Amino acid sequence: MLPWWVGTILALIAYVILHRYASADVPTNVPPGQIGEMVVGQMTRTLAFYGQFIVPPLLLAGAAASFLRRRKREGLVRNVAGDKSGENLRALNWSDFELLVGEAFRMRGFSVTEAGGGGPDGGIDLELRKGSEVFLVQCKQWRAYKVSVTVVRELFGVMASQGATGGFVVTSGTFSADARSFVAGKNIELIDGPALKAMIERVRAARPEMTVSTERVPASVQTSAATATSAAEPSCPRCGGRMLKRIARQGPNAGGAFWGCTAFPKCRGIKAIE
């Protein structure tokens, strides 16, 4: 779960500390009243001796797994963004689809925790954090049929019970008309396959080190992605950043939906939903 470099540093620190205790001298001739301390010292030295050969390798193994998992996420993003047909997105299994969605939100500036919904039809799959705000994500790798309103209602119920600011339902397919009608006025965003691909292309365009060549992503595809994204999410009138649908909790417009800047409370830009 930690970045690979954190695991590597922890492995080094663990070895230095354990090796120090393993090499420490423990007196054997002590007064009767200090025998207990001598026994504890001997046990600590023994545990440290074996621990210096066990704990650091485990941490390094975790670091290697984290590095490979990170590379896999980046590879999924490249494959989906570079495929104008959308077939690579539709061909993903549910676990890779969750990794892709998590990486897409991570590139949007969210802190992502993979909750592990427990399978293709499990519970909440991702928990997003940005500042003090928490967003819940349900991933549905459904290609054969539309995501129904039942899935969205379940997410709305979990959001209410956990006090989440908002939520996302992401699918490689499409949503039913009832599902789209249900989210009207609620701080839930439905992201279908084309919208997910457009979101990935937009965030990659903002990060030059991850942008593919123009041969792989034609200008027409980039333009259409930018158009689709801008139509779904307006820019903040104050800072130019991204905005999310929010629900007013107090005041004369309590219960009404509006666009709010994701940088809140640092930026308090708002915009009416037209």
State the Cα–Cα distance between residues 89 and 96, nearest whole angstrom: 10
In-domain check, residue 119 = no
In-domain check, residue 155 = no
State the Cα–Cα distance between residues 4 and 230, nearest whole angstrom: 35
Largest CA distance in the chain: 85
Last residue within a domain, chosen from 59, 88, 103: 59
In-domain check, residue 50 = yes
Domain that holds residue 36: 4-59
Q: What's the pLDDT at 30?
A: 65
Higher pLDDT, 237 or 101: 101
User: How large a percentage of the chain has pLDDT more than 90?
Assistant: 32
Where does the pLDDT of residue 230 fall: very low under 50, low under 70, confident under 90, or very high at 90 and above? very low
pTM of the shown model: 0.59
Q: What's the pLDDT at 8?
A: 92
In-domain check, residue 128 = no
Where does the pLDDT of residue 15 fall: very low under 50, low under 70, confident under 90, or very high at 90 and above? very high
Mean pLDDT of 188-208: 84
In-domain check, residue 131 = no
Catalogue the long-range contacts made by 136-139 (C-beta closer than 8 Å, 24 or more residues apart): 136/162, 136/164, 136/166, 136/167, 136/168, 137/101, 137/102, 137/105, 137/167, 137/168, 137/169, 137/170, 138/167, 138/168, 138/169, 138/170, 139/94, 139/97, 139/98, 139/101, 139/170, 139/171
In the block, residue with structure tokens 């689809």: 97
Q: Are 149 and 179 in contact (CB under 8 A)?
A: yes
Q: What's the pLDDT at 215?
A: 39
Mean pLDDT of 88-95: 86
Q: What's the pLDDT at 180?
A: 94
Last residue within a domain, chosen from 59, 80, 104: 59
Q: What's the pLDDT at 190?
A: 94
In-domain check, residue 257 = yes
Structural domains in the chain (count): 2
The region, left, alpha or beta by phi > 0 then psi within -120 to 50, assigned to residue 92 is beta
Strand 126-130 to strand 133-140: parallel, antiparallel, or no bridges (unpaired)? antiparallel
Question: What is each CA distance from 80 to 85, 172, 266, in whole angstroms?
Answer: 9, 11, 33
Mean pLDDT of 189-200: 90
- Residue 172: is it exposed, middle or buried by C-beta count within 10 angstroms (0-12/13-18/19+)? buried
In-domain check, residue 84 = no
Q: What's the pLDDT at 252?
A: 61
In-domain check, residue 55 = yes
Token digits of residue 81: 């963004």
Last residue within a domain, chosen from 38, 59, 80: 59
